[in-house]
Amino acid sequence: MGFRFPAAFSLQLSVFPGIALCAILALAAIISSPFWGVPSLILALFLGYVVGDPMREHPFHDGAEFSRQSVLKLGVVLLGVRLELDQMLVLGWSPVLLVMFCVPITILVAWMLGRWLRLPTECWLIGGAAVAICGASAAMAVAAILSARSGTSRILPYIVASVTGIGSIAMIAYPFLYGLLGVDARSAGLLIGISIHDVAQVAGAGYAISEPVGDVAIYTKMLRVAALVPVITLIALWQRSRSDQDNGLPGFLYAFAAVVALNTFGLLGTQIKLIAEAVSEFCLVTAMVGLGARIQFSSMLGESWRPLFLLVVLSLFLFVGPLLMMLIAGGI
């Protein structure tokens, strides 16, 4: 097994018109996101769908596909600058143990529900990772691993939109519910950090209560984000074991691990990290434009209730489970 740099990263002149259009629409989504109050990933998905017909034709098709696949992988690689694995000493081991338990259990429940609902593997696996780890970013990272599966491109927009909507509802509802339950600040931060999907949603819910709650929530959430490293590695190994060809692990996974290591050992300066985070966001939003261009609205409407049911049940499980655990342990 050797290192294999993805051939998808090689550039041809035919991809530039599509990349340029995706990038322009991504920039529009990022700039207009605060005005509309809608996450930039969702806006990008919508904009990609709006221009889907021309994007599926020459001269934009190749670039849209390149954005959907290779630009996505670059964005995932640069997500590594958000992970600092040495932060676990700050608040003790409680958040670490909570994350180590909840993330694999949530994915296990996704597998069980997925089999019961007869969902394809890519559906429950992408959905389980999205709920367990970090919402749309985790969904896109896992989708990059499973890109060879025919159903991945079809189900990914559905999961991204659904999990973002569920997270937005949780961001509004959970602080109110924890207030009714009289949860203390540290416990509220742990529960918000472990149960809400997107980092921005966790920040919104946590700091809506208080600064200490927000700090604990963000720390706990970043531990969940750190779980992206072993999860996508295991998924890549599993995917490789089911392939007839021994192609090695995806090259971008090595790059992702390298960025995490550099960040953990403090080898990335603050300015470099800020730039990398901005580029990562731009790449992911650009990829969402390319993904949106592939959406056939009729096929989206044709999706049954089962994927949404999976995401709702997993989200409720991740809300109720840790709350019951802390109540039983007397930590609230």
87: helix, strand or coil: helix
Q: What is the pLDDT of residues 175-206, one digit of tens each?
A: 888 878 788 888 888 999 999 987 767 877 88
- Greater pLDDT, 243 or 211: 211
- Per-residue pLDDT at 124: 92
Instruction: Assess whether pLDDT exceeds 50 at residue 5.
Output: no
pLDDT band at 167 (very low <50, low <70, confident <90, very high): confident
- Per-residue pLDDT at 149: 67
Give the ranges where the chain is alpha helix by DSSP (H). 16-36, 40-50, 52-55, 61-66, 72-78, 94-117, 121-129, 136-145, 152-181, 185-195, 199-209, 211-226, 228-241, 251-264, 270-292, 297-302, 306-329
Max avg pLDDT among 25-29, 98-102, 145-149, 159-163: 25-29
Contact in structure between 27 and 122 (CB atoms under 8 Å): no
- Per-residue pLDDT at 7: 45
pLDDT band at 291 (very low <50, low <70, confident <90, very high): confident
- Per-residue pLDDT at 2: 46
Q: What is the Cα–Cα distance from 319 to 214, expressed in whole angstroms? A: 17
Predicted TM-score of the model (pTM) = 0.69
| CA distance from start to end of the chain | 49
